[in-house]
Structure 1
Amino acid sequence: MPAGPIDPPARLLMGPGPISMYPRVLQAMSAQLVGQYDPFMTATMTETQALYREVFATRNEATLLVDGTSRAGIEAALVSLITPGDRVLVPRFGRFGHLLVEIAERCGAEVHAIDVPWGEVFDPAAIEAAVREVRPALVAIVHGDTSTTVAQPLEGLGAICREHGALLYCDTTASLGGNDFRTDEWGLDAVTAGLQKCLGGPSGSAPITLSERAVAVIESRKSIEAGIRVEGDPVRQDRIRSNYFDLGQILDYWGPKRLNHHTEATTMLYGARECARILLEEGLDASVARHRLHGGAMLAGVQGLGLEPFGDLAHRMTNVVGVRIPEGVVGDAVRAELLADYGIEIGTSFGPLHGKVWRIGTMGYNARRDAVLVTLAALEAVLRRHGVGVPTGGGTEAALDVYRAAA
């Protein structure tokens, strides 16, 4: 039987991402393609760079998109900044710190990791002590790790890294647009993100911004221009060990040289551009405040149901709430019923938290009052069917109290 047209079921995505897209982003992504060097195309690329400078709160000229999911941006940054043999320090407080370690090891780095229990964050003094001991060329850290629902404070880390001659890379996939983030003010050298969280778009495009210090490292590793090598040319041992993720070549593609590297993912460019336009129309501070409001209402709601939040609430992300699964409840069964009966998706967790914690997101297009209240009402009904004694209306009333107080 031939496949029919794509027709996904109606879903309210209230997990840790991806989330439901802004309708305007869907509309932008339906626009027709143009040629890769059409003046409209190159102008759109330039516009998108300017928009993401504002999103990242930076003046970095080297601000652009890497074609691929948020992990493509992470890998492009690390493979382009790490020379094999470099020491790299990774402070880990969740699953995605472990990802940074793996990618850095694949880049040939001598990786040193430090850890805190999942649900906690680092005291900056602990990171500074590790930098003094390891003397890394690069410190790689996650801002908000959705696996633990907490955000690492970054203020002061850039100054620490500069004092000790290290670059500072940050993965802000899960936090950008919904949590306070200041690239230049915090002294970050490389930052990557994705669209599928607070930016309200699809996965498939990774915004990235690079400081002049980071660009200098990348430029120093360029052995050939535009990927064209003449027979007999020497192969530098410190060259960037990827073609697709070679930021030296990608910078030439996005820069004034417009040297061909790959065919830009035009539809994703349109979507990324619209994500940034929506965020900047609302305003960075206003978007953070919206995520804080609805994330706070969700937190109050789960507590109103008698559930225990997970993680250090003083450092929780605005856009995702961790919830301890009640004893005796099969977490995946609750998630399955929410999806089947109500069309609502919430997340499970990873590693030591798998089966112990749910993750409920309030981000991007779904950081809104009706989405929060419907999710809490559905969760209450499903929990009651699973034998959990939850207060009638406890979740929605607690969330409404937050909204009334903010009115």
Structure 2
Amino acid sequence: MPVLPRLKRRPLPVLMGAATLALSLAASATQPYPHAQEPIGDVQAIYDGKLSPELAITTFRNTDRLFPVRTIKAGGHPFPLPRSAKPLAPVAFEFKGKHYSLDDYVTTNRVTGLLVLKDGKIVDERYAHGNTAETRWMSMSVAKSVTSTLVGAALQDGSIKSLDDKVTHYLPALAGSAYDQVTVRQILAMRSGVKWNEKYTDPTSDERHLIQLRSEQVTGSLLKFMATLTTAAPPGTRTNYSTGETQVLGQLVSAAVGKPLTQYLSEKIWAPYGMQTDAKWWLDGANGNEVGGSGISATLEDYGRFGQFILSGGKAGGKQVLPEGWLSFASAVTGSDGAYGEFASMWWPGWTDASKADKAFTAAGTFGQYVYINPTKNVVIVVWQAQTQPTGGKVIDDMVAFDAIAKVLP
């Protein structure tokens, strides 16, 4: 197999006083984004799988240049992620009859960033292909899990009264559409019964039409498109993976709380939990609505902090942001889609025997992004990949690699 540059481990920081650390963080916040002048591909080439390996890398760390974005503001006091005194032990596993190491995995799957947290401490952090701790990498469908988490926040603060409320209670624009009798709970589980074709490689699919509308940048057009869809099954009877559902869900949360998703995410989680760096989120038009199913770009460590926030039960800034038991609710299997497997409330339950035993689950994005959470082992793993195909590009099953990493952690 080809040998790619070894991932660079982030060095252990030198000890510094609180004042020096604050000045250092303030200085880094004012520095220009290190990748801002790099070439990027266009949206059509991304979803057609026609980016070169090199252009995929520079595009995926500059996705905030593809569409208008709104900033998710960080707080001034980063949540600490101390380095563990124990480095990650050698990782070895088998997949389809072949033996692999962790280095084999990151090379074969074109991993450009890897963060492993155990008990809230960094046991491994690596970057490759020019990525650094300042790099913001795209999320794709990892954003779905963020959007579903904001449902939990809105439920906790009373903005959403019940998951069994009708969607139209919050989005009256959908009255009379296929969503007329659909509940918030059914949207979370992608069991609305609304007809949807997710296939990225089909230029006539609903998902590709949604992508085209994003490119046209007409604020509100995504929800208008969702209102034109038809019913394929009674609500609650069939799981059908649909990125369009997360657009409905994101605008529902925004309507319920009376503010943009970026502002709500910043106020509830990003700032009070202590994310270190501002993040970005795609909009459907200039100063428009956030794209609920994709388009967040953030740093590796801040994705790790988000995983820790979920793992710790949804507390931020000393407050309970998510309802008690939300972790168990959000990660529980709600159904199975023939093409996409088992699904939870916009998270993916573990699909290997080991991950199922540990009740592990993950946020996952096409082209290879993961925020893996293992509540049994108290482990969070964040992975960035630079796959060039929307689906089917990886060689090694990521969950098998995550199992192997979790296994060697004490």
Query: Is the TM value for this pair above 0.5?
Result: no
**TM-score, scaled relative to structure 1:** 0.27
**TM-score, scaled relative to structure 2:** 0.27
From the two aligned structures, give the one with the greater helix fraction. Answer: 1
